[in-house]
Amino acid sequence: MTANKVWFITGAGRGMGVDITKAALTSGFKVVATGRNTDKVAQAVGESEDLLIVTLDVTKPADAASAVNAAIDRFGRIDVLVNNAASFYAGYFEELTPEQMEHQLATSLIGPMNVTRAVLPVLRRQRSGLIISISSTAGLVGFEFGAAYAASKFGLEGWMQSLQAEIEPFGISTITVNPGFFRTELLTKESTHFAEQAIEDYNERRVQQLQFWEGYNGQQSGDPAKLAQALITIANQEKPPLRFIAGADAIGTAEQVVATLEQQLNAYRDLSTSLAHEDM
């Protein structure tokens, strides 16, 4: 069965999705590679008898249903879903429009939900499967200029943790992946969108933030091809981890989150534990 597993990957036309698709094909798996532009997906991942390329805009539930049906028609099953498609709306919260916030959530939170909702009936019938959702260190800690992105990733984290408890009885596993900075296309002009408004109080810091984000593309330390191979490795484990912190920088961030939480917990432990009813 391992050699016949079918991987269903969103956002396969660029960035990390390309590397995951190629790694899965190289490992001998069948792959359903999806994207909004199938020509771009085909150009990025090449040709293979084990490859099916399907149109999928993750913000459209009808696209998700059609893509899943196409996968079943071709391969008969789906074993691994990779929720990878994403975008990045950067800017100070006050300067981001409601529409920009909605677009961020639609792609990075509601999108994975749309695809997963379409795939779950297949996995339940099989009583097996794995759902991998690509989160971020922004799902562990918020950051200046990242309100929209962090909101979407924190939402993804809570949804995945709740989903895991709901579907585990059906033999379905989940992995939430928290990559640090990887040299993908997330910071390119095609994927990164900046706030449309400008509030004077933010001018000085906005200039610094824009310089950082526009200049950091191509400078990230992480190799997405190595991350793709790591996902193949953990997905093949009999009991995959519920979470995978990806990259040395991501481990550093996670350790700082743990340390900060512990410090805050201990600082007010006495006050916190004094809040019960007197008769308890």
Residues in the chain: 280
Strands (E), the chain: 6-9, 30-35, 51-55, 80-83, 88-90, 129-134, 172-179, 192-194, 243-246
Contact 78, 6 (CB under 8 A): yes
Residue 111, CA distances (Å) to 68, 104, 236, 245 in order: 14, 10, 25, 22
Q: Assign residue 145 a region (left: φ > 0; alpha: ψ between -120 and 50; beta: otherwise).
A: left
Residue in 149, 202, 216, 268 annotated catalytic: 149
Contact 18, 35 (CB under 8 A): no
Beta bridge partners of residue 175, listed in sequence order: 132
Contact 13, 37 (CB under 8 A): yes
Q: Return d(Cα 110, Cα 39) in angstroms, integer.
A: 25
Residue 194, CA distances (Å) to 91, 101, 149, 197, 279 in order: 6, 11, 11, 9, 54
Q: Is 149 among the residues known to form the active site?
A: yes
> Please, which residues have CB within 8 angstroms of residue 143's CB and are 6 or more apart in sequence?
150
Among residues 71, 67, 69, which one has the least CA distance to residue 5? 71
- What count of Cα atoms within 13 Å lies in the side-chain half-sphere of residue 174? 23
Looking at the annotation, which residues are catalytic? 149
